[in-house]
Amino acid sequence: MDRVSSFDEPLLKLLGGATAKVMAEHLDLHTVGDLLHHYPRRYEERGKLTALADLPLDEHVTVVAQVADARILMFNNGRGKRLEVTLTDGSGRLQLVFFGHGVHKPHKELIPGRQAMFAGKVSVFNRKMQLAHPTYQLLDASDADEATEAVDAFAGRLLPIYPACKQLDSWRIAKAVDAVLPSARDAVDPLPASLREGRGFTPLPEALLKVHRPQTKADVEDARARLKWDEAFVLQVALARRRYADTQLPAVARRPVADGLLDAFDAKLPFTLTEGQEKVSKEIFDDLATEHPMHRLLQGEVGSGKTMVALRAMLTVVDAGGQAAMLAPTEVLAQQHHRSITEMMGELAEGGMLGGSDRGTKVVLLTGSMGMAARRQALLDLVTGEAGIVIGTHALIEDKVRFHDLGLVVVDEQHRFGVEQRDALRSKGKQPPHLLVMTATPIPRTVAMTVFGDLETSVLDQLPAGRSPIASHVVPAKDKPHFLARAWERVREEVENGHQAYVVCPRIGDDAEEAEGKGGKKTKARKQAADEDPEKRPPLAVLEIADELRKGALAGLSVEVLHGRMHPDDKDDVMRRFAAGDVDVLVATTVIEVGVNVPNATAMVIMDADRFGVSQLHQLRGRVGRGSAPGLCLLVSEAHEASPARARLSAVAATLDGFELSRIDLEQRREGDVLGQAQSGVRSSLRMLTVIDDEEVIAAAREEAVAVVAADPELEHLPELRTVLVALLDKDREEYLDKG
């Protein structure tokens, strides 16, 4: 069998249908190579019991513990049986529960003093951690052979604990790995020999054997060091090749012009740019002046003035005879950008119009829901070059849209745009246009190097003068209902002081399922589920909360709603009236997450805040405190005080530093593959490397990769590296790396 094909062999051949099916469906493992790269999450030592005190909620875990007691309880007037088993390990206790016919075997086997491995999903019942119907394997079984086998696997050796799922326990995965382990010696080693020897790395086949079946802790360290390096290096080579390819493309240089639109715009600014804005603008202008396309990521704190920097880049391109397009992820945002850009530019945005500046240009909006006449005019302005700047949603990418000379594409909130969309827009230029990607979520350096490694990065970390501090507090609605009452009082106080407020909810609340269930069984079932377990109730909804507030806590105030299913004209109308100060309280979904700028809004209440991610909460919070008055953000949650959700909210309340929060966010989601998060359907390559902890590895790998690609862009002299790249970078991932 040749070296590549043994890794490509389907698991079905070796493991049998049932196991292979579960691995494919639940763990995304299809081939021998996939399984060999499914590394243990941790290792147990003989006699060492897992810390039950540290079990993560809602995760599948494997614990090694001792039975403290077991008892059968009857319920439902004696018709139902329940076996409750208490495990102990010195650090804490854990309850197991078995129901119905499933109680007999464990009742006989799980007697006090017995030690076993247990696997299941951790849940909470009556404020106690429990595993319901776990699978288990006794470590002192009565069958001598079975006992010897279990203890052999366990004793004198580190016991690998694999990322598992409900249908397949860690120890069954370990048995499957045993079956494919001989193929490890066929592993294709991607590292150039000089690099491998220079850094003293273990050969790859040996690293795979050591990671799955280590004899000592040193084996694990050796294997991890090598496997982390491979992941970082192969990925950085892919990114370096992409950067190299970009530098080979032609583009029209767009150089600043004296006394043009940009100078006129700068002259009418009522404030001076921050040092950061000046520095980043210079980086962008330098890129625009070159004859290959700029590929730059502009990241910065909420409210650091990214739009201002992007607009100045767009004006430079217009001065140089080109056009600029800005893509926004939603119509609300496109309209918001259009409004704020035309306001900032004033008469400069009315080129060719009565009262417009002779140095001006037209700024047009193009969205899917525009009327035919307005749309036709916008398309005409683009093809004739009358409009220097266009702002729109993905409607910009449709075939009908033609540009006179597209020179720059600005993509707002990049992670919401697919690669094909950006490529389609890029192909509308006579030559590839320059690309500026804006993200409002600050990204730690390591992630920027890994996920956005094909883009040059500019960071705005200075807030413009005049931004006010935002105080954030967690409101525990379940434990302390009077705190929630006080939250609404605070909103009322802000309004009485002449300010406005947002209330954010996770759901709209007009879905068909609810309409169908009103007054019927579904509503009752939902209420019952919510009473038994608050986490099972549906998230709070905009329409319901707005209704409650109008009738109750905020009666007498002007309360309006805003959500994604409203007609665009209605959305725009509500947003305009809110911006004008005619609406006191806006109850909205996350459509207000980015780009919405109402300096008079000082308070925000986020309902069910635990249902949002860390960076999303930070984005939302950035909508207040945009004027001279201080901002207030209240995070309302029913989550239990000791839960990870509450810990997350406390972290958000404790800091306004978006870079710090993005680090916390990443640490909490470390099981997720950073590459896979942004685009589903992409095979995960990061299994060993955690981008948050392995900064040195990533930085060193990037340096080596750049040198390798500079010397041999096609990797002609490194066939093994090329083979591994091809396997990793299937078509989807190649495109994904083009920043989907």
Q: In this predicted model, what pLDDT tens digit does every residue of 314-361 receive, in sequence order?
A: 999 999 999 999 988 888 788 888 988 998 888 888 876 555 566 788
User: 272: number of CA atoms within 13 Å, CB side?
Assistant: 3
3-class SS at 653? helix
Express each pLDDT in 405-447 by its tens digit: 999 999 886 555 555 665 676 678 788 899 898 887 777 777 7
Cα dihedral sign for 430, 431, 432, 433? negative
Tell me the pLDDT tens digit for each residue of 305-316.
888 899 999 999
* Inter-helix orientation angle 658-668/614-621, to 10°: 160
Count CA atoms within 13 Å of residue 286 on its CB side: 9
pLDDT value of residue 451: 67
pLDDT at 148: 55
Q: What residue type is 186 in one-letter code? A: D
pLDDT in tens, 354-389: 555 667 889 999 988 888 899 999 999 999 999 999
Strands (E), 506-577: 559-562
**Residue that is written with structure tokens 């979520």 in the block:** 441
Taking the C-alpha atoms of residue 368 and residue 408, their distance in angstroms, rounded to an integer, is 21
Q: Hey, what amino acid is at 79?
A: R
Q: Please give the Cα distance from 720 to 203 (Å, whole number).
A: 14
The predicted model scores a pTM of 0.67
Integer Cα distance of 320 and 382 in angstroms = 16
pLDDT in the model for residue 516: 36
Dist. CA 28–CA 276, nearest whole Å: 44
- Confidence grade of residue 517 (pLDDT, cut at 50, 70, 90): very low
Quote the pLDDT of residue 739.
40
Q: What is the pLDDT of residues 573-594, one digit of tens each?
A: 898 899 899 999 999 988 776 6
For residues 2-14, average pLDDT = 70
Q: What is the pLDDT of residue 571?
A: 85
What SS3 string covers 486-522?
HHHHHHHHHHHCCCEEEEECCECCCCHHHHHHCCCHH
Q: In 320-459, where does DSSP find H-type helix?
A: 331-345, 372-384, 419-426, 445-451
Alpha carbon 341 to its chain's center: 29
Mean pLDDT, the chain, integer: 81
Strand partners, 133: none
Structure tokens at 539: 């998230």
pLDDT of residue 5: 53
β partners of residue 633: 472, 604
pLDDT of 195 higher than 60: yes
Provide CB contacts within 8 A for 428, sequence distance 6+. Answer: 401, 402, 403, 406
What does the pLDDT read at residue 309? Answer: 93
Longest dimension (CA), the chain: 95
What pLDDT shows up at residue 145?
60
Question: What is the crossing angle of helices 217-248 and 719-728, to 10°?
Answer: 90
Q: Which pLDDT belongs to residue 634? A: 94
What whole-number distance in Å separates Cα of residue 103 and Cα of residue 108?
Answer: 9
Helix axes 331-345, 568-579, angle to 10 degrees: 50
109, pLDDT greater than 80: yes
Weakest mean pLDDT among 197-211, 252-266, 459-473, 477-491: 459-473
**Mean of the pLDDT values across residues 190-211?**
90
| Higher pLDDT, residue 626 or 156 | 626
Phi, then psi, of 207 in degrees rounded to 5: -65, -40
- In the 8-state DSSP scheme, what is residue 215? S
Average pLDDT of the residues in 159-183: 86
Helix (H, G, I), strand (E, B) or coil at 710: helix
